[in-house]
Copies of this chain bind each other. A is one copy, B any other.
Amino acid sequence: MKAKGSNAERELVSKFWKEGFASIRVAGSGSSRFPCPDVLASNGTRTIAVEAKATKKDIQYFRENQITELIEFSRTFGAEPILAVKFSSKWTFFELFKLRQTPKGDYAISKKDVEELGISFEELISA
């Protein structure tokens, strides 16, 4: 699971570099005592902080505290907080304000949300 996550993050980092964004994976995301995203990218004009998940299921959850930390980090760093989900082999990106919370406070993104709520990588970087 951990290697799968790292590989998905590396794939995102490559996509950003190809489009002129310097990008890195964050060390110890999920275990650091400070809030942090999984991936950071910037082209000097736009800075994007990404929480990324790859899944073979039809629905992907993000815990409420992951989202809270992503927002807190992004606000201080001066970055746009973005969720990235790779369903099967396709990445889709989600702006936080578009997402629904479950009654427990978590965020759920399903495959069905991709068309309605998601944007492609090209749309993300040209937004």
Contact = CB atoms under 8 A, between A and B. Distances in A.
A37 B24 CA distance: 9
Stoichiometry, copies per complex: 2
B43 A24 contact: no
Interface string A44-75: 11010000000000000000000000000101
Interface of A: 6, 9, 13-14, 17, 20-29, 32, 34-37, 40, 42-45, 47, 73, 75-79
Contact of A76 (B13, B20, B26, B36): B20
Contacts of A37: 24
Contact of A43 (B25, B44, B47, B76): B76
A104 to B, nearest CB: 27
Contacts of A45: 78
B28 A26 contact: no
A34 B32 CA distance: 23
A40 B24 contact: yes
Q: 7 closest A-B pairs (Cβ-Cβ)?
A: A44-B78, A22-B76, A22-B77, A25-B27, A27-B27, A42-B77, A24-B26
A42 B54 CA distance: 28
A83 to B, nearest CB: 18
